Chains A and B, each alone.
Chain A
Amino acid sequence: MEAEIRTTAGSWGKRKTAACLSALSMGLGQMYNKQWLKGILLLILQFSYLVVFFDLFNIGLWGIVTLGEIPHEDHSIELLAKGIISILLIFIGLLFYGLNIRDAYQVGAMREKGIRPPGIWETYRTVTDKGFPYLVIAPAMLLLVFVVLFPIMFMVLLAFTNYDLYHQPPVKLVDWVGLDNFVNFFRLDMWKNSFVSVFSWTVVWTLMSTTVQIAIGLFLAVLINQKRVKFKKFIRTVLILPWAVPPFVSCIVFAGMFNDNFGPVNQMLNDLGFASIPWLTDPFWCKVAILLIQFWLGFPFSLALYTGVLQAIPSDLYEAAQVDGATVWQKFRHITLPMALYATAPLLIVQYAGNFNNFNVIYLFNKGGPAVPEQTAGGTDILISWVYKLTFVTFKYNYAAAISIIIGLIVTVLALIQFRNTRSFKEEGLIQ
């Protein structure tokens, strides 16, 4: 095909002329190809894009390099944000620009072969048919670029600046500091100690809370699933209740119930003859309380999930095991457990990731407290609530951003391994 075109059209044909003209300005190549309406539309598109965004690009690109030069006048952080948005918009613009060149080249090649270029009506039809998938996902992708991609780019860049309480724009300028924030983490004792203690508690918290909540849910689901248990529906509805209550309500309510002096939990302990436990003021007991609360909040989801899964396990498996003389435990260990876990693997990972970033319980129960001397984090702070405090309480944005990057990388790697293994993204037969 290619060779044929070359021989008929020589080394420099209409396709290259059209492509070059389109590279000069969007729409020119199309006009050269005698697609007048399309060319004019593209030309208008390009001019409006440039007119609307020129000022933003001008300020943004200068801003992201310098982060401002005059205190009080230049707002470094706004400049940074404008810079990122400019880069994103330029990237989207370049995408259209590239498509425009490709289109001119292809139509040019058609003309070399003597085929009449498609008219505007035909073009419209091709766009709505071949381009249908792109048209539908475009709004979602655009939204994602600004709501998900932009904030993360912003955060990553922030980790390489000195944006903190002492460098608050517009009064002071913010500067690029390279890897200083990351280096300080491992050099300054205050940061190193906080990081190590928060990180280890986060790991313990994530593993314990999630594993136990899943285990309780599965255990109760198996209990209820027994044939001889009556009132199944009623029991399930009551047990799912904690899931139905909004978490911000239950967390604050638990803060009241675990109150050191007057809460019903301690009152009950007193009535039974035990001493009161300092749930909110002692780091160890506070951790215990938070774990208990998360078990309460988290198990109904697993219970509901496994109720459905258990009913889908074919009963002849159990009958076969019965014939072979398997015990209850053996049946659970070799049939129920593998079937249930296999069916819900992606949701298990979602639960672990959810608890890793479970801000609500930690913060609403006791604000990550009690305070620990000589550390920047409280006794029950996990990474995410620590980041919150650094951002909104002590205004150490740069360190908060650096920690976020570290957290993000850890979770992303773990999650990617999992998602790669799910079948959802293996290619299967498609319409087109």
Chain B
Amino acid sequence: MIRAKLRSKLSLALTYLILVVGMVVCVYPVLWVIGASLSPGESVFSSTLIPKNATLDHYLWLFTSPDSQYVTWYANTLKIASINAVLSVLITTGTAYIFSRYSFVGRKYSLMTFLALQMFPSIMTMVALYLLLNMLNLLDSHWGLILIYAGAQIPFNTWLVKGYFDTIPRGLDEAAKIDGASHATIFFRILLPLARPIIAVVFLFNFMGPMTDFLLPQIVLTSPENQTLAVGLFNFINDQFGKRFTLFAAGSVLVALPVAIVFLSLQRYFISGLTAGASKG
């Protein structure tokens, strides 16, 4: 009996030990960047976890220096991310509604075909997208980028939202239909309000994507005043890794902080949407 008690105490202690180690590993890099962003000097080598002469110079530089385009990048990123999120939610929920509730030619295989096609690595297709935007005169424009984002997200997110719609009883639609509701009414008044969690997921996916993507905008957006945060910051540090690290750290903290806060506060929605959409689907 005493041995069993001891064993259970030990296993609990071990549990806490593992969790604490895990938490330290998770937090350390984050604290290290914050430390770096406050460290005086510019190089990666001078940055420490707790800087001796902490300074906000790097943050000030981002906003005040004439050499810094940080504010422009931030505005561009927010613009692209929010337009893309709204557009994607509209396209995806509409398409998913059709896939969930109607029978039509190509219902069974079209979405699966596109999902499979997207397994092809995206890098090579970027050459083609570059040419396409060039022909449409949309190179170096935010709309060109948004169009590609909004198109590329359709298969996966439609599949996710369709799975969620499938869990909403069809009896609801049929009842509404008998009461004389049109296709659009059923969609906007019945399905959309019930599907709020998955809509939050799709919105967030499509907001976060452009916030953090760097490969595509780097190819599409050529002039510095049109670039996004990820591209700007990456190019900013790419040439002289050691020299600008603390400035990069300050810039990253200001991106990561809002993203992390939004993310952590909405993650419950996120998970419930993902599991409902994917597993029950």
What residues of chain A have their CB less than 8 Å away from a CB belonging to chain B? 77-78, 81-82, 85, 129, 132-134, 136-137, 139-141, 143-144, 146-152, 154-155, 158, 220, 223-224, 226, 228-229, 235, 237-250, 252-257, 259, 261-264, 296, 300, 304-305, 307-309, 312, 343-347, 350, 353, 357, 359, 364, 383-384, 387-388, 391, 397, 400-401, 404-405, 407-408, 411-412, 415-416, 419, 422-425, 427-432
Partner of A155, one of B119, B120, B135: B120
B116 touches A416 (CB 8 A): yes
Partner of A78, one of B125, B131, B166: B131
Q: Chain B residues near A407 (CB, 8 Å)?
A: 120-121
- Give A353 to B121 CA distance when docked, in angstroms: 10
- Give A238 to B115 CA distance when docked, in angstroms: 34
A241 touches B120 (CB 8 A): no
Interface centre among A220, A238, A246, A263 (most CB of B within 10 A): A246
A424 touches B159 (CB 8 A): yes
Give the number of residues in B that approach A within 8 Å (Cβ atoms): 101
* Least distance between A397 CB and chain B CB atoms (Å): 7
What residues of chain B have their CB less than 8 Å away from a CB belonging to chain A? 12, 15-16, 18-19, 22-23, 25-27, 29-30, 32-33, 36, 44-45, 47, 49, 91-92, 94-95, 97-99, 101-104, 108, 110-112, 114-129, 131-132, 134-135, 147-148, 150-152, 154-156, 158-159, 162-163, 166, 170, 173-174, 177, 183, 208, 211-212, 214-215, 230, 233-234, 237, 241, 245, 248-249, 252, 255-256, 259-260, 263-264, 267, 270-272, 274-275, 278-279, 281
B270 touches A424 (CB 8 A): no
A147 touches B148 (CB 8 A): yes
- Give A255 to B120 CA distance when docked, in angstroms: 28
B154 touches A254 (CB 8 A): no
Task: Given A132-B102, A245-B256, A419-B112, answer yes or no on A143-B132 (Cβ-Cβ < 8 Å).
Answer: no
Given A148-B117, A347-B278, 10 more pairs with CB closer than 8 A = A85-B135, A140-B154, A148-B151, A148-B152, A151-B125, A238-B23, A248-B230, A264-B49, A343-B275, A391-B126
B122 touches A357 (CB 8 A): yes
Q: Chain B residues near A253 (CB, 8 Å)?
A: 29, 32-33, 249, 252
A152 touches B255 (CB 8 A): no
* Least distance between B153 CB and chain A CB atoms (Å): 10
* Beta-carbon nearest neighbor of A424 in chain B: B281
* Least distance between A390 CB and chain B CB atoms (Å): 9
* Beta-carbon nearest neighbor of B218 in chain A: A392
A152 touches B125 (CB 8 A): yes
Task: Given A304-B270, A344-B278, A391-B127, answer yes or no on A427-B33 (Cβ-Cβ < 8 Å).
Answer: no
* Beta-carbon nearest neighbor of B25 in chain A: A296
Q: Chain B residues near A256 (CB, 8 Å)?
A: 36, 44, 47, 241, 245
* Beta-carbon nearest neighbor of A389 in chain B: B123
* Least distance between A221 CB and chain B CB atoms (Å): 11
* Least distance between A272 CB and chain B CB atoms (Å): 15
Task: Given A245-B256, A419-B112, answer yes or no on A147-B123 (Cβ-Cβ < 8 Å).
Answer: no
- Give A82 to B135 CA distance when docked, in angstroms: 9
- Give A52 to B208 CA distance when docked, in angstroms: 38
* Beta-carbon nearest neighbor of B118 in chain A: A148
Q: Chain A residues near B33 (CB, 8 Å)?
A: 249, 253
- Give A139 to B91 CA distance when docked, in angstroms: 8
- Give A346 to B45 CA distance when docked, in angstroms: 43
B281 touches A431 (CB 8 A): no
A401 touches B98 (CB 8 A): no
A430 touches B102 (CB 8 A): yes
Q: Chain A residues near B170 (CB, 8 Å)?
A: 429, 431
Q: Chain B residues near A263 (CB, 8 Å)?
A: 44
* Beta-carbon nearest neighbor of B251 in chain A: A249
* Least distance between B167 CB and chain A CB atoms (Å): 11
A423 touches B281 (CB 8 A): yes
* Least distance between B274 CB and chain A CB atoms (Å): 7
Task: Given A249-B256, A422-B281, answer yes or no on A415-B119 (Cβ-Cβ < 8 Å).
Answer: yes
